[in-house]
Amino acid sequence: MAQQNIRGGLDFEAPILELENKIEELRSFSQTTQVDLSDQIEKLLERCNEKKRAIFANLSPWQKVLTARHPRRPLSSDYLQLMMDDFVELFGDRSFRDDPSIVTGFGRLGGHKVCVVGHRKGKDTAEKLACYFGCSHPEGYRKALVKMQLADKFGIPIITLINTPGAYPGVGAEERGQAFIIAKNLMEMARLRVPIICTVIGEGGSGGALGIGVGNRNLMLEHSYYSVISPEGCSAILWKNTEFKERAAEILKLTAEDLLGFGIIDEIVPEPPGGAHREPVRAAQSLKEAILRHLRELEKLSGEDLVKARYQKLKRMGVYEEETAGLLSLAGSA
C-alpha cells in the first residue's frame, strides 16, 4: 500500500505534512529557546494553507475515496461528540441483537431535539472488528428503523450520518434478510412524518449507505464519496481484478460535485483546508451549521408536506429520454 502511511497520511498529502512538521519544529524551538519566530511561522502557515487548498481542490476521484477512508478522518462518534449536547445512545433492534456498526440515540443539536442514526466504523481494532469496519448487518438497519420510528412518534427530526463501505455480505446477513430489511428502511423512511437530513461524512457505500439515506435533504461532506459499487468492486467486474480501481473511481462519478450535478444531493458541506481530518472541530462546526440551516427550513413543514416533499424529490431522480408526440425531451434530475 504505497498510497498510505506517511505518518498516518496519504501520498498526495506529503508536501502538506512536510510543512506541518516544519511548523511544529519551529514552534517547539521558539518555545524552548524563547526566540521569536512568529514571522517565519506565519509565512510557513500561509504556505501550508496554500498547499492544502491547491492539493485538496484538485483531488482525483480516487484520491477523494482515499480521503473518505483516511485513517484519521472524523467518524460518526467524533461528530456526535463535537456537535451534540446531551446525547444519549440507545441500543438494540428489539429483535435479534445490538449491532454496534450503527449508532443511534437522541440529544440536542444547537437547541433542537434530534434523533441521530449513524454508521460506526470503530476507533480501535477491537471496536473496528465488532463493527465489521462499518459494514452493518440486518439488525443494524432494524435498530436504525426502530429508533427512527420512535423519533417519528414524538415528532423529533432525524439526522443520519452515512459512513460505510457497504452492508455486510455474509452468511448470517443473508439468513437474516439483509435485502429485505434495507428495502423496508427505504419504504419506511419515505413515509416518516418528521424532517430527515442525511449526510455522507465519509464512505457512501451503495445499498448499505442508502439504508439510512432517504431524506428531505441529502448532503455530502466535500471529500466524501457515494457510489452504487466500490471502485474495487467495479474494477473486479469490468477488468476481473482490482488494479483498475482508480479508473473505476473516475467512471463511476462518485464525488460530491458529481452527485450535486446529478441532482442527487442538495449541498456540499465544505471541509477545512486539507480535509476534515486536519481540523475535526472545524469540520463538525461546518456540518452542524449546514444541518441546522436545513433543519430550520424543514421544521416549518407539516408531517404531510415532509412526506410529499420527499416523494417528489425521489420522483425526480433519474436521467432518461422521454418521447412525447414526436418531441424528444430529456427528463430527470440533471
Partner 1 sequence: MNDTPQDSLPSPTAKRQLDPALDSGLEPLEARTDAVKKRRDMPANLWMQCDGCSKLLYKPRVEEKLNVCPECNYHFEISSAKRIQMILDPASFEERFTNLSPLDPLGFRALKAYKDRLVETQHRTGLKDACVVGTGKIERIPVVFGVSDSRFLRGSMGSVVGEKIFRGVELARDLKYPFIFVSGSGGGARMDEGILSLMQMAKTSAALADLDRHGGLFISVLTNPTMGGALASFAALGDVVIAEPKALIGFAGPNVIRETIKADIPAGFQTSEFLLEHGFLDRIVNREDLRSTIASFLRMFVFRPA
Q: Which residues bind partner 1 (CB under 8 A)?
A: 166-171, 173-180, 182-184, 186-188, 190-191, 206-207, 210-211, 213-214, 226-229, 233-234, 236-241, 247, 251-254, 258-259, 262, 264, 310-311, 314-315, 317-324, 330-334
Q: Which is nearer to partner 1, 50 or 322 (CB)?
A: 322
Q: In whole angstroms, how close is the CB of 275 to partner 1 at the nearest point?
A: 22
The long-range contacts involving 52-59, CB below 8 angstroms and separated by at least 24 positions, are 52/16, 52/273, 52/274, 52/278, 53/273, 55/12, 55/13, 55/15, 55/16, 55/274, 56/223, 56/271, 56/273, 56/274, 56/275, 59/12, 59/223
Q: Which is nearer to partner 1, 285 or 333 (CB)?
A: 333
- DSSP code at position 271: P
Q: In whole angstroms, how close is the CB of 209 to partner 1 at the nearest point?
A: 8
CA distance 75 to 118: 9
Q: In whole angstroms, how close is the CB of 166 to partner 1 at the nearest point?
A: 7
CA distance 41 to 199: 36
Q: Which is nearer to partner 1, 35 or 319 (CB)?
A: 319
Q: In whole angstroms, how close is the CB of 72 to partner 1 at the nearest point?
A: 26
Q: Which is nearer to partner 1, 164 or 286 (CB)?
A: 164
Please, what is the angle between helix 303-315 and helix 178-190, to 10°? Answer: 120
Q: In whole angstroms, how close is the CB of 243 to partner 1 at the nearest point?
A: 8
Q: In whole angstroms, how close is the CB of 314 to partner 1 at the nearest point?
A: 4
Distance spanning both ends of the chain, measured CA to CA: 37
SS3 of residue 227 by DSSP:
strand
CA distance 164 to 148: 19
* Ramachandran quadrant class, 320 (left: phi over 0; alpha: psi -120 to 50; beta: rest): beta
Q: Which is nearer to partner 1, 54 or 334 (CB)?
A: 334
Instruction: Specify whether the CB–CB gap between 116 and 87 falls below 8 A.
Output: yes
Q: Which is nearer to partner 1, 10 or 214 (CB)?
A: 214
